[in-house]
């Protein structure tokens, strides 16, 4: 396609995976302890979607990328200092919570409204990218609901590869059981792709790209719409880190049947 694509990538920040997360009950509901102090990174699933979008845009001149992010404005500004050096994009920012205690339906509504408000977005060239999962919300349904609200019928989840064919159609590899892929062909836009890990490396930092992006990022952050993603109607009875249990016993000459029986008993006790 000579005119290129309009690619919208949905993604937000998540706490650095090396950090220990502790849930607490705050005045506005459940949250993470010292959440605003935790170093953040772009959601790994969304990162793959962004890198794949950049690769597709590079191969098709005239393409444009928008990155739609929902998160605390101050944290988004810190995140953009590094992400903006990777890929050329236009930021659409929403100022709201980014922890795992938000409702997927509300998040999908906020994201779809933001996408519908993008000036000049052409549905005949429109492709919606995002993570198949999320390292924070991890609902696995948010992107699908965004697509439904935008009336995108062609949806593919768990995507590892996208290839544009000679006739302009798309060849898509989706993950299925048994470590295999389902091959699909689609010849119509708009199109939604929920990316798995993909096959592209992380792009190197490019200060020139970063400077160009930041000229638009800062005004976008200043205009970020305050978005309330509430938990009304949801009651959390308790919040705690996963309990770590380790019971070690050294036994010699124990029959395999007895070992198997003890393992089954232990699993049943752990699940009760």
Q: Measured between alpha carbons, how far is 17 from 135 in angstroms, rounded to an integer?
A: 9
Q: In 3D, which of 100, 134, 74, 103 has the Cα closest to residue 22?
A: 100
In a domain, 26, yes or no: yes
Q: Rounded distance, CA 189 to CA 8, Å? A: 13
The tens digit of pLDDT for each residue in 236-262 reads 666 666 666 676 778 888 888 998 998
Classified as helix, coil or strand, 125 is helix
Read off the pLDDT of each residue in 4-21 and give the average, rounded to a whole number: 84
Asked whether residue 57 is assigned to any structural domain, the reply reads: yes
Q: What is the dihedral of CA 231, 234, 237, 242, to 10 degrees?
A: -60
Q: Would residue 142 count as lying in a domain?
A: yes
Residue 24 in domain:
yes
Specify if 245 maps to a domain: no
Would you give the DSSP letter of residue 124?
A: G
Q: Does 221 fall in a domain?
A: yes
The pLDDT tens digits for 26-44 are 776 677 777 777 778 888 8
Q: Indicate whether 148 pLDDT > 80.
A: yes
Residue 203: what are its φ and ψ, rounded to 5°? -65, 150
Number of domains in the chain: 1
Per-residue pLDDT at 41: 85
Cβ(99)–Cβ(32) under 8 Å?
A: yes
Looking up residue 170, the CATH number of its domain turns out to be 3.40.50.620
171 lies in which domain range?
Answer: 6-226
Residue 250 lies in a domain: no
Is 247 part of a structural domain of the chain?
A: no
SS (H, E, C) 183-226: EEEECCCCEEEEECCCCCCCCCCCHHHHHHHHHHHHHHHHCCEE
pLDDT at 1: 43
The reply to whether omega before 129 is within 30° of 0 (cis) is no
């Amino acid at each position: 396609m000579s005119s290129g694509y309009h690619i919208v990538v949905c993604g937000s920040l998540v706490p650095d995976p090396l950090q220990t997360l502790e849930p607490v009950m705050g005045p506005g509901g459940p949250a993470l302890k010292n959440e605003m102090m935790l170093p953040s990174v772009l959601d790994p699933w969304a990162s793959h979607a962004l890198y794949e979008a950049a690769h597709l845009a590079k191969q098709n001149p005239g393409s444009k990328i928008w990155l739609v992010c929902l998160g605390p404005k101050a944290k988004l500004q810190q995140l953009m200092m590094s992400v903006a050096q990777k890929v050329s994009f236009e930021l659409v920012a929403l100022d709201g919570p980014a922890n795992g205690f938000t409702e997927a339906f509300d998040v999908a509504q906020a994201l779809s409204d933001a996408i519908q408000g993008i000036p000049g977005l052409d549905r005949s060239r429109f492709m919606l990218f995002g993570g198949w999962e999320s390292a924070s919300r991890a609902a696995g349904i948010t992107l699908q609901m965004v697509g439904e609200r935008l009336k995108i019928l062609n949806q593919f989840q768990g995507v590892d590869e996208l290839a544009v064919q000679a006739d302009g159609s798309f060849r898509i590899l989706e993950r299925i059981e048994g470590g295999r892929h389902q091959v699909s062909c689609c010849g119509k836009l708009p199109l939604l792709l929920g990316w798995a890990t993909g096959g592209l490396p992380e792009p190197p930092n490019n200060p020139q790209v970063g400077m160009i992006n930041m000229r638009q990022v800062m005004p976008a952050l200043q205009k970020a719409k305050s978005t309330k993603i509430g938990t009304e109607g949801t009651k959390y009875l308790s919040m705690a880190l996963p309990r770590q249990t380790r019971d070690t016993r050294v036994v010699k000459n124990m029959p395999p049947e007895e070992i198997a029986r003890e393992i089954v008993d232990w699993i049943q006790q752990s699940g009760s």
